[in-house]
Structure 1
Amino acid sequence: MKKILLVDGSNLLFQMFYGMPSVIIGKKGRPIQGTLGFVGGLLRMIRMVHPSHVAVFFDGEHHNDRTDLSPEYKANRPDYANIPEEDTPFSQLMDIYAALDLMGIVHKETEVCEADDWLAGYSYICPDDGELVISSGDSDLFQLINDRVKILRYRGDNSVICDREYVINKLGVPPERYAEYKALTGDSSDNIRGCDKVGPKTAAALVSQFASLDEMIDDADKIAKPSVRASVKACAERIRLNYNLIKLDYNFELPFSFDEMKYSEKDLTTRKVLDEIGV
């Protein structure tokens, strides 16, 4: 059986770059905390999952369909153009690419879509005899979970592999309705404003009451609480826009076949990898 590990590389890099001390200096006299944490984290994931196939994907710096839909999408993120490169996670990308090459792991930066969309595409074509584990701290990927797809939220010893039951227990909705739930609550990390008067519990109740967002909006008079009913009516356009921002797109061309991701687990340590790439 294929056991496939796909990693949201940008998410892992940012987690390590900002989560580890910048005083960690490498052989070339510059900070390496992002590279050190990334390599160490990836090796631990591999030991946790024991994959037969591995790939890592990074978000490229480009506009995409979501920013065209809403200029406010992710507009709350730092403008790295105004920050010295050595103070950004991107300053350590080349070392991370070198480490991945040394480890025999294919990797690619997006040019049109977001990495999440590639991950969605692979979840859609996961073979019947396969198991796919996607490593990311981005909860938007919960919508991909099914019998063959799980999400690894990497936190060292506190890492969690999230399945359908996890999402239902945490949010009160099944994975396949996650995008509808978030369309109502919004997502502050992506600068997506939710529906007024609708918090997580109310959103879960509305998703349970109606078969779809369209039904909810069209039959909003069936919503019992007057303030929520009025808000859903007033925010109908925003709710639909939010759904289109949050729902992942399966239709982009994928950079690798599963065969190209084949991986043989190696006897590597973080120190050995960093030494080999001269960091």
Structure 2
Amino acid sequence: MNKFLIVDGSNLLFQMFFGMPARIVNGAGKPIQGTLGFVGAFLRMVRMTRPTHAAVIFDGEHGTERNEISSDYKANRRDFTGLPDADSPFSQLDDICAALDLLGVFRTEAEVYEADDVIASYAIRLGGSGEYRVVVASQDSDLYQLIGENVSVLRYRGKKSTLCDAGYVRERFGVAPERYADLKSLTGDASDNIRGVRGVGPKTAAALIARFGSIEELLAHTDLITRPALRSAIEENADRIRKNYRLIKLTDRAGLPAAPARLAFDPDSVTTADVLRAIGLT
């Protein structure tokens, strides 16, 4: 069976830019810590997963329909516009793209949709085809909802990396991956500035989803909730819960920016130093 490694590029860029132990510059004084970390992490992911196909998806610089659903969506994210190159991860994006091109990895910037939506489209369609095992590399927990028989999520942390399957999600959150969006619709997601239902924490949300199966079934049968305060909170926030679900739920609506044949990848045994040298950074 083919194996497809799809990387959340923007997520990995931020993880490496801010996660490296110190600001690193090359001989010309150019900051390269983000590029160094990104390329090194990608090559280690390749060695860990041995993919036959690979792609890196970056977020585009545009709003999406989620911003129309909620003006608060991701409003808490830092704006890097106008910052010096040394303080902006995006200043190293061109070098990262050059490295990926050198490695022969398909890369693209999400248009109209978010990178998560493009990743979801590949995971759902290729994972569901029965011809691919899909590994999604990201720290973004929203992608847990994509996990299935042929789809896993790689939380890359060097030697402490975790390949997450359905059992991981059930143990950590108390719900199956396909109900992760229902769970988060109740609890909210601080990282995306999505406010949940006051008083409904992860354990309560998981218990409600376990009992009712989905938020729609929950909202249709609130009379069965025996705790008056909880019942009132759910009923009073019905619109918010449904809106949250629209913000969090991932589908294959974004489509595939490239056919699987274009994603074929044959990794050479190159090192990070080889790549940086080839693109002129060392």
TM range (shorter): over 0.9
Deviations 1:83-127 (A, max 9, x none): 334411100000000000111101001121001001110112113
For residue 219 of structure 1, what is the aligned residue in structure 2?
221
Counterpart amino acid of residue 74 in structure 1: K
For each residue in 1:154-200, what CA deviation from the matched residue of structure 2 results, as whole angstroms up to 9, or x when unmatched?
00000000001110011000000000000001000000000111000
* In 2, Cα distance between equivalents of 1:121 and 1:59: 15
Distance in 2 of aligned mates of 1:84 and 1:218? 52
- Residue 81 of structure 2 aligns to a residue whose secondary structure is helix
Distance in 2 separating the partners of 1:200 and 1:264: 42
Counterpart-to-counterpart distance in 2, 1:199 and 1:223: 16
CA shift, 1:253, in A, is 2.9
- What residue is the counterpart of 1:254 in the other structure? 256
Residue 67 of structure 1 is matched in structure 2 by: 67
2:2 is matched with which residue? 2
Aligned length: 279
Aligned equivalent of 1:114: 114
Distance, in Å, in 1 between the alignment partners of 2:280 and 2:21 is 20
The TM-score, its normalising length taken from structure 1, stands at 0.98
4+ residue segments displaced more than 6 Å = none
Cα distance in 2 between the residues matched to 1:188 and 1:179: 14
Counterpart CA distance in 2 for 1:255 and 1:40 is: 26
Query: Structure 1 residue 16 and structure 2 residue 16: aligned?
Result: yes
Question: What fraction of aligned residue pairs are identical, expressed as a percent?
Answer: 53
> Is the 8 Å Cα contact of residues 27 and 278 (structure 1) preserved in structure 2?
no
- State the Cα RMSD in Å: 1.0
Secondary structure at the counterpart of residue 157 of structure 1: coil
Residue 22 of structure 1 contacts residue 32 of structure 1 at CA under 8 Å; is this kept in 2?
no
Structure 1 residue aligned with 2:50? 50
Distance (whole Å) between structure 2 residues aligned to residue 73 and residue 249 of structure 1: 18
Name the SS of the counterpart of 1:140 in structure 2: helix
Q: Which runs of 5+ in 2 are unaligned?
A: none
Q: Amino acid of the residue matched to residue 231 of structure 1? A: A
In the alignment, is residue 96 of structure 1 matched against residue 96 of structure 2?
yes
Which residue does the alignment assign to 1:25?
A: 25
Corresponding residue for residue 160 of structure 1: 162
Question: Which shifted more, 115-124 or 198-207?
Answer: 115-124
Task: Choose the corresponding residue for 1:196, options 195, 198, 205.
Answer: 198
Kept in 1: contact 2:125–2:252 (CA 8 A):
no
* 2:4–2:54 CA contact under 8 A, matched in 1: yes
Q: What code does the residue aligned with 1:131 have?
A: R
Mark the runs of 5 or more structure 1 residues left unpaired by the alignment.
none
Matches of 1:173 and 1:149, distance apart in 2: 17
Q: 2:124 — aligned with what?
A: 124
Once residues 37 and 203 of structure 2 are traced to their aligned partners in structure 1, the CA distance between those partners, rounded to angstroms, is 36
Name the TM-score, length of structure 2 as normaliser: 0.97
The offset of 1:82, in angstroms, is 4.5
Amino acid at match of 2:49: V
Deviations 1:1-35 (A, max 9, x none): 10110000000000000011443101331211100
Task: Check the 8 A contact 2:124/2:251 in 1, yes or no.
Answer: no
**Could you report, residue by residue, the CA deviation over 1:136-160 in whole angstroms, capped at 9, with x for unpaired residues?**
0000001001100000000000000
How many Å separate the matches in 2 of 1:224 and 1:173? 21
Q: Secondary structure at the match of 2:159?
A: helix
| C-alpha distance after superposition, 1:230-249 (max 9, x if no partner) | 11011111100000000013
Q: Which amino acid aligns with 1:110?
A: A
